[in-house]
């Protein structure tokens, strides 16, 4: 086994591990619909009429507030109860849902489905609940003068469309509000849940009711319902053959919520931003005389020392410096785009801090010193201590275990090779595969353990806000995944210092990953949708509305955006950290992303249950991750330049000592980081007009405070 | 001239330059009181009664608002007019000052001094003006429940002490408000200034009146008046012999304002923070066997190679690592202290952004999109462009000129030395001093030009807020001064790589600077105050109140805090950047600062006119400067460790190549910077209770916005 082969194996190990995980998910996904006797009722031709769009209207619970009475109630959220739920429990739950807040209810509308004994409750909300929740969330809505203004219930009549909830709030917002109200249901006093045995059935005072019911097995699922008509419209505008340039971002935001919309906006922005580096890569590879890159690489396969002569080294430098500036500009411009999107979608001024804590939050009951409400409290310094003294070292430990695994693999490889060379038997030949197998198993197990640990740790850190929880959890998983993926490349670049091998590995990882992703994400699901589920579709059209709703439960749950974002982050990592050794990276990524957009769109619309989506004002921790990567890229590029054969040659010729050239490289690195920081500081994070709007809101609230007696 | 001598000369050049500047200032300061026929009416024994604390009360302009009528009006600000001012001009100005805002006035109280023809106007303000300005500034005041709450005029009756302005606002706040109102006087329409010749005497519409009057020579000065009684009280508590530990920070804030109070709080905090490094320095120097440092240094003066043997190198490392961690902790803990002080002093929630622009601000008249007020507007991006494309390169150019000067000096030195060695005449001996002289003149001229350019540039950048103006101006001057001072040390450390020389230079700079500072700042002023001005004091006691007030003009104007802060920053630089080669640095600094506190206190109280002081919530750009220095110190310490003879020896013994040890040092540097960043991130910038208070204010204003129709 050659030197290069060993590295190949590590890479393949990581790759196989990922494939395995993906394949298992795929299998689960493929078999799920077949096990159940119905498939999704989606229809992408738009020609089939949906017969009864709504449930029988008279079975909805009644509203007391005259302004909230409406002829037609929209089904927003489905609560799937267990099969053997007692009618008395269901009645109790419905009465809780419809009770006013003063009486400890959620002030929502409930529909019992076909009858009192069915295993679903459909939930919607009256106008007043929507409006009050909009104010509590801190959403901005269109004022009568077309400005986006933080919504105020008191001043509601001055906002546009305030009488038509379907116009005033997006579908995603309406569903999120319903879920939020359900989540905030708390027991007023210690009580029994009717129809549930004693042991799990006692609610403590202030206990979260939904969480309790899930734990007691009464509620199996709560999920938002797809609106088939809107979904078909959205699909037509998003991934049909006619629609090639651009995405209907506003429609995505309206249907899927801002979390998903921010992902697709970023994907869009990123894809466009890839055009300049892709162009540069093409020029460097094919137009420059003796250009480096793939063409060259294939010609000199295996021959390391005569690689990279001729002027391609200047290409190296151009590429390195360009990619450092590009990554800074990219992130800074995205921040501006992000803040203007946030203004457009009314999430500039969210008030998550002042809302109630997330459902999983633990603490001693007390008065919140900021809002004066009674709720569980947990001191901030204790959380900081937990993060700093427990989570941080544990994450470090797992990183160490990854390195340990890699080292062990290299050791084992060497050992087995030595043994094979000595004995040369069939048995020792078979043994050659042992280290890889062991490494695959190890990596896979480690990954699974880590995911569980990360979730437990983040729960234990006890974050008050959902966004803080998400950010901390994402950071943990992201660090590990990133490390796992890049350990091989860093090992080659910094320890082995072998540029040709790095180039080869980068190219194969890029192409391999992309093929794999395209395959699992687009081709297979498409085939399944076309051929496996097609026969089921016909039957659907005669189904009752209720069955159609319930049918959505057979779709696999939305897996979250983590996998999508991490894919982009890894891409960005390949590009900014190492692309100077393989200029075609950007071209490959560009090609990949163009199909990725449509693939993801198709997947989100067709293949998964609709997710709940909290309003957010940016990408959260992902933006930071991209920014940090930008800084790491300066270090890695400086290092790669230092290693580049041309620079080494230049030193030898010029009689410059290795020591001095390193000192020079450090100087360049520090200066470039300084330049990056100055650039980042000089480019404002939000466009002037957004800043002005934001300050307007602040000024107004300051003014309002002045007008008011406390 | 030896190698060391050359460096000595550069250093002495910079030093002499500074001394020259200081001496000139000192001379001006010393002669000023002698030229005029009276001295300050200060009295530090507190035994002499001030006879008439107030001016004749009936000459104050009358207030229309019934709630503002008070028996006794306090003299706050003095407007010194030119000697030949026309009574008609003075009357016009007084009428403007007393007119209500609706009529384009300042709504203040004016007192014409002795008579209508005198050359002063004393200004005060009625209660309503104070209260409204307090709200506009965004100051927090004590609510009836003892909380600090953003003051609201509408809700004024619920705040403590709202009927007694002397309790409700501090003296510094009252004076700042008066100045602020004077500064905001604008011409309502194009008009002539009565009694002023045509050419300078025409006010354009919306022109700033005070600025115009200063330019037209009508107003010579506007300054706040000392309150002798309070000043004596403050002095007794601050720098008398009894008061050794601690400073009366609240009283300082109340009398001199938060700008000065933040400086002294920082000085205090910094001095205490010096105790651990001073202790470590003492231990390393005197207790460790063979300890490095001064003792050693004096013994081996001039002999470079046998320096630093024995275990003192471990002291090197301990000192370097300690100083890196210490600087991080120091800054992070100061931030917490700073924010709690800011809460205590009610400046947590300042609304400078929403106030009018600073007087020097230029722009086209338009509606401010945030506040809806008519005022000059200037686009933010244009300011950014000016900063980025003009100011930044120009500052860089001047830095280059400093380096050029230093290089030129070294070249000239070498040239002249060669010539002297060749000829050896008396003439060539005299020529030896030429490069130093030339360098002194060059540095001095460059400094003066730069100061003028920095002020012009910052004016031209056209900052809307005073704090932004100050920050940009300070940054420019600070960069230059810092560079000018440290260029020699950096040159020795990074270019010459000569640790023993660095140690010698550091010690002499430290001791020299401190002696110089103590001398100019404390000893001389004290002597002047005791012996030169003592005879004048007696005469004072019989003077009229009006003369006492006018007499304050004979004090030199307050020079600002720049010199004080830069002294601390340079100290901090010596300590954090280079202290590992001279562990006694912290001890020297500690000794210096203990006298510095009292010296500065004495100086501020006795020797200068009282300054206007805007309420501020932190040290502004100085905090950032200290923070940046902390990061630079990691780089410099890693580098110094790399140079340390013991490490070099260790490499030779262990057979580690110079290249690898550098790579290892880079790794250590990057890891340490990462640790520093994590530490800085983990330690919250404000204590929990301050965060809660701040969020309470935000929550209240959000609630208020919800309650109000726009």
Q: Tell me the DSSP string of A312-332.
A: HHHHHHHHHHHHHHHHHHHHH
Residues A296-315: tens digit of each pLDDT: 443 333 333 344 444 445 67
* B10 and B409 Cβ atoms separated by less than 8 Å: yes
Query: Is residue A543 over pLDDT 70?
Result: no
User: CB-based burial of residue A117 (10 Å sphere; 0-12 exposed, 13-18 middle, 19+ buried)?
Assistant: exposed
Are the beta carbons of B701 and A699 separated by less than 8 Å? no
Are the beta carbons of A154 and B707 separated by less than 8 Å? yes
| Nearest chain A CA: its distance from B679 CA (Å) | 9
Nearest CA in chain A to B663: A662
| pLDDT for res A536 | 52
| Nearest chain A CA: its distance from B670 CA (Å) | 10
Sort out which chain B residues have CB atoms less than 8 A from A688's CB and list them: 379-381
**Whole-angstrom distance, CA of residue B239 vs CA of residue B244:** 8
Sort out which chain A residues have CB atoms less than 8 A from B147's CB and list them: none
Nearest CA in chain B to A152: B706
| pLDDT for res A533 | 58
| Nearest chain A CA: its distance from B462 CA (Å) | 16
| Nearest chain A CA: its distance from B684 CA (Å) | 9
The number of angstroms, rounded, from the C-alpha of A243 to the middle of its chain's C-alpha atoms is 25
Q: Residues with Cβ < 8 Å from B416, sequence gap 6 or more?
A: B428, B431, B432, B434, B435
A389, A391, A394, A398: CA torsion to nearest 10: -150
Neighbours of A557 (CB within 10 A): 12
| pLDDT for res A545 | 67
Sort out which chain A residues have CB atoms less than 8 A from B135's CB and list them: 706
Q: Residues with Cβ < 8 Å from B671, sequence gap 6 or more?
A: none
Q: Which two tokens stand for residue A524?
A: 């297979």
Sort out which chain B residues have CB atoms less than 8 A from A696's CB and list them: 369-370
Q: Which of B157, B343, B465, B710 to mutate to test the interface with A (most CBs of A within 10 A)?
A: B710
Mean confidence (pLDDT) of chain A: 80
Q: Which two tokens stand for residue A650?
A: 């230049």
Helix boundaries (H) for A462-561: 466-490, 499-518, 524-527, 534-540, 545-551
**Whole-angstrom distance, CA of residue A110 vs CA of residue A90:** 11
Are the beta carbons of B709 and A155 separated by less than 8 Å? yes
Query: Is residue A353 over pLDDT 60?
Result: yes
| pLDDT for res B420 | 86
Are the beta carbons of B709 and A154 separated by less than 8 Å? yes
Least confident of A46-50, A472-476, B347-351: A46-50
What sign results for the dihedral spanned by CA atoms B421, B424, B427, B432?
positive
Mean pLDDT over residues B277-283, rounded? Answer: 90
By DSSP bridging, strand A120-124 and strand A109-111 are antiparallel
* A358 and A664 Cβ atoms separated by less than 8 Å: no
Residues B442-458: tens digit of each pLDDT: 988 998 999 999 999 99
Q: Select from B388, B662, B705 the Cβ nearest to the Cβ of A700.
A: B705
Sort out which chain A residues have CB atoms less than 8 A from B692's CB and list them: 369-370
Sort out which chain B residues have CB atoms less than 8 A from A153's CB and list them: 706
Mean pLDDT over residues A663-685, rounded? Answer: 87
Nearest in space to B672 (alpha carbons), one of B381, B321, B370, B377: B321
Are the beta carbons of B635 and A682 separated by less than 8 Å? no
Question: Hey, is B142 helix, strand or coil?
Answer: strand
Mean pLDDT over residues B656-678, rounded? Answer: 84
Q: Select from A143, A369, A705 the Cβ nearest to the Cβ of B152.
A: A705
Q: Select from A158, A388, A707 the Cβ nearest to the Cβ of B682.
A: A388
Neighbours of B637 (CB within 10 A): 28
Sort out which chain A residues have CB atoms less than 8 A from B704's CB and list them: 701, 704-705, 707-708
Helices A258-273 + A585-606 axis angle, to 10: 160
Residues B43-91: tens digit of each pLDDT: 333 333 333 345 677 778 877 777 777 778 888 998 988 888 888 888 8
| pLDDT for res B241 | 66
Q: What share of chain A is helix, strand, coil (3-state, %, to 5)?
A: 65, 5, 30
Are the beta carbons of A704 and B701 separated by less than 8 Å? yes
| pLDDT for res A42 | 36
| Nearest chain A CA: its distance from B286 CA (Å) | 35
Are the beta carbons of A702 and B701 separated by less than 8 Å? yes
Neighbours of B262 (CB within 10 A): 28
Sort out which chain B residues have CB atoms less than 8 A from A666's CB and list them: 662, 666
| Nearest chain B CA: its distance from A567 CA (Å) | 25
**Whole-angstrom distance, CA of residue B111 vs CA of residue B120:** 9
Query: Is residue B196 over pLDDT 60?
Result: yes
Q: Residues with Cβ < 8 Å from B278, sequence gap 6 or more?
A: B586, B587, B589, B590
Would you give the DSSP letter of residue A162?
T
Q: Which two tokens stand for residue B459?
A: 């004016």
Question: pLDDT category, B300, cuts 50, 70, 90?
Answer: very low
Question: pLDDT category, A24, cuts 50, 70, 90?
Answer: low
Q: SS3 sequence, B30-69? A: HHHHHHCCCCCCCCCCCCCCCCCCCCCHHHCCCCCCHHHC
Neighbours of B667 (CB within 10 A): 12
Least confident of A252-261, A513-522, A620-629, B53-62: B53-62
**Whole-angstrom distance, CA of residue A586 vs CA of residue B85:** 74
Are the beta carbons of B707 and A158 separated by less than 8 Å? no
Q: Select from B158, B702, B708 the Cβ nearest to the Cβ of A710.
A: B158
Paired residues of A123 in beta bridges: A77, A110
Are the beta carbons of B658 and A663 separated by less than 8 Å? no
Q: Using alpha carbons, list the distances in angstroms from residue B22 to A364, B19, B30, B468, B518.
A: 61, 5, 12, 28, 12
**Whole-angstrom distance, CA of residue A621 vs CA of residue A473:** 10
Q: SS3 sequence, A330-387? A: HHHHHHHHHHHHHHHCCCCCCCHHHCCCCCCCCCEEEECCCCCCEEEECCHHHHHHHH
Query: Is residue B142 over pLDDT 60?
Result: yes
Nearest CA in chain A to B387: A682
Query: Is residue A101 over pLDDT 70?
Result: yes
Paired residues of B375 in beta bridges: B366
Are the beta carbons of B369 and A696 separated by less than 8 Å? yes
Q: Select from A666, A701, A710 the Cβ nearest to the Cβ of B155.
A: A710
| pLDDT for res B532 | 62
Percent over 70 (pLDDT), chain B: 84
Q: Using alpha carbons, list the distances in angstroms from residue A390 to A89, A385, A459, A461.
A: 42, 8, 13, 9
User: CB-based burial of residue B305 (10 Å sphere; 0-12 exposed, 13-18 middle, 19+ buried)?
Assistant: exposed
Neighbours of B420 (CB within 10 A): 17
Query: Is residue B383 over pLDDT 50?
Result: yes
Would you give the DSSP letter of residue B119?
S
The number of angstroms, rounded, from the C-alpha of A559 to the middle of its chain's C-alpha atoms is 9
Paired residues of A451 in beta bridges: none
Backbone angles phi, psi at B45, to 5 degrees: -95, -20
Nearest CA in chain A to B670: A635
Are the beta carbons of A704 and B704 separated by less than 8 Å? yes
Q: Which of B353, B686, B705, B709 to mutate to test the interface with A (most CBs of A within 10 A)?
A: B705
| Nearest chain B CA: its distance from A700 CA (Å) | 7
- The count of CB pairs under 8 A between chains A and B is 125
| pLDDT for res A12 | 56
Q: Select from B150, B353, B710 the Cβ nearest to the Cβ of A700.
A: B710
| pLDDT for res B360 | 81
Mean pLDDT over residues B403-431, rounded? Answer: 86
Q: Select from B678, B688, B710 the Cβ nearest to the Cβ of A381.
A: B688
Q: Which two tokens stand for residue B230?
A: 């309070």
Q: Which of B635, B702, B707 to mutate to test the interface with A (most CBs of A within 10 A)?
A: B702
| pLDDT for res B199 | 72
* A568 and A67 Cβ atoms separated by less than 8 Å: no
Q: Select from A153, A384, A659 the Cβ nearest to the Cβ of B658.
A: A659
Mean pLDDT over residues A567-586, rounded? Answer: 85
| pLDDT for res A553 | 76
Nearest CA in chain A to B494: A663
Sort out which chain A residues have CB atoms less than 8 A from B152's CB and list them: 705-709
Sort out which chain A residues have CB atoms less than 8 A from B354's CB and list them: 695, 699, 702
Query: Is residue A410 over pLDDT 60?
Result: yes
| Nearest chain A CA: its distance from B529 CA (Å) | 48
Least confident of A457-461, A524-528, B182-186: A524-528
| pLDDT for res A339 | 93
Mean confidence (pLDDT) of chain B: 80
């Amino acid at each position: 086994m050659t030197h290069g082969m060993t590295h190949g194996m590590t890479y393949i190990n990581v790759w196989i591990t990922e494939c395995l995980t993906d394949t298992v998910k795929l299998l689960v996904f493929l078999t799920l619909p077949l096990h159940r006797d119905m498939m999704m009722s989606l229809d992408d031709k738009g020609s089939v009429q949906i017969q009864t769009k709504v449930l029988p209207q008279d079975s909805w619970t009644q509203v007391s507030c005259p302004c909230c009475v409406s002829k037609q109630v929209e089904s927003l959220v489905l609560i799937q109860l267990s099969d053997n739920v007692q009618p008395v429990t269901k009645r109790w739950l419905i009465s809780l849902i419809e009770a006013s807040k003063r009486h400890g209810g959620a002030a929502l509308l409930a529909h019992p489905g076909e009858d009192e004994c069915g295993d679903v409750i459909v939930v919607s909300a009256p106008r007043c609940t929507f409006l009050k929740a909009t104010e509590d969330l801190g959403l901005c809505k269109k004022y009568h003068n077309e400005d986006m203004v933080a919504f105020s219930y008191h001043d509601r009549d001055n906002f546009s469309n305030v009488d038509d909830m379907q116009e005033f709030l997006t579908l995603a917002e309406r569903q999120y509000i319903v879920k939020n109200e359900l989540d905030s249901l708390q027991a007023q006093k210690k009580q029994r849940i009717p129809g549930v045995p004693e042991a799990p059935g006692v609610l403590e005072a202030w206990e979260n009711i939904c969480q309790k019911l899930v734990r007691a097995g009464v509620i199996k699922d709560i999920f938002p319902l797809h609106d088939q008509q809107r979904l078909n419209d959205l699909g037509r505008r998003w991934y049909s053959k006619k629609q090639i340039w651009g995405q209907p971002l506003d429609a995505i935001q309206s249907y899927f919520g801002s979390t998903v919309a921010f992902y697709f906006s970023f994907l869009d922005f990123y894809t466009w931003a890839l055009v300049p580096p892709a162009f540069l890569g093409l020029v460097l590879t094919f137009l420059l005389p003796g250009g480096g890159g793939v063409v060259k690489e294939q010609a000199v396969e295996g021959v390391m020392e005569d690689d990279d002569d001729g002027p391609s080294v200047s290409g190296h430098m151009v590429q390195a410096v360009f990619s450092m500036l590009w990554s800074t500009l990219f992130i800074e411009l995205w921040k501006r785009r992000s803040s203007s999107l946030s203004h457009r979608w009314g999430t500039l001024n969210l008030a998550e801090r002042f809302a109630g804590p997330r459902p999983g939050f633990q603490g001693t009951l007390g008065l919140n010193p900021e809002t004066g409400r009674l709720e569980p409290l947990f001191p901030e310094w204790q959380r900081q201590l937990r993060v700093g003294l427990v989570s941080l070292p544990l994450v470090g430990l797992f990183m160490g275990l990854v390195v340990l695994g890699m080292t062990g693999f290299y050791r084992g490889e060497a050992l087995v090779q030595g043994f094979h060379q000595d004995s040369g038997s069939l048995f020792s030949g078979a043994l050659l595969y042992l280290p890889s197998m062991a490494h695959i198993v190890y990596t896979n197990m480690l990954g699974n353990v880590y995911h569980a640990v990360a979730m437990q740790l983040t729960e234990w850190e006890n974050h008050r806000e959902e966004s803080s929880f998400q950010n901390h959890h994402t950071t943990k998983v992201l660090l590990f995944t990133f490390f796992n993926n890049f350990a091989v490349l860093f090992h080659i670049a910094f320890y082995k210092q072998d540029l040709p091998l790095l180039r080869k590995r980068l190219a194969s990882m890029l192409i391999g990953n992309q093929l794999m992703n395209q395959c699992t994400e687009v081709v297979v699901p498409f085939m399944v949708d076309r051929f496996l589920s097609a026969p089921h579709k016909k039957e659907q059209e005669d189904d009752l509305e209720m069955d159609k709703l319930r049918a959505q439960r057979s779709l696999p749950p939305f897996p979250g955006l983590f996998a999508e974002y991490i894919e982009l982050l890894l891409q960005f990592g390949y590009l900014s950290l190492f692309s100077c050794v393989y200029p075609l990276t950007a071209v490959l990524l560009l090609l990949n992303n163009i199909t990725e957009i449509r693939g993801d769109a198709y997947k989100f619309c067709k293949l998964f249950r609709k997710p709940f989506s909290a309003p957010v004002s940016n990408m959260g921790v992902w933006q930071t991750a991209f920014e940090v990567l930008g800084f790491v890229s300066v270090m890695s590029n400086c290092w790669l330049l230092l290693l580049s054969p041309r620079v080494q040659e230049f030193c030898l010729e010029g009689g410059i000592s290795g020591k001095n050239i390193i000192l020079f490289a450090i100087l360049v690195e520090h200066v470039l980081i300084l330049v990056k920081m100055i650039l980042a500081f000089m480019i404002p994070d939000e466009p002037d007009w957004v800043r002005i709007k934001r300050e307007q809101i602040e000024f107004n609230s300051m003014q309002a405070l002045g007008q008011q007696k406390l």
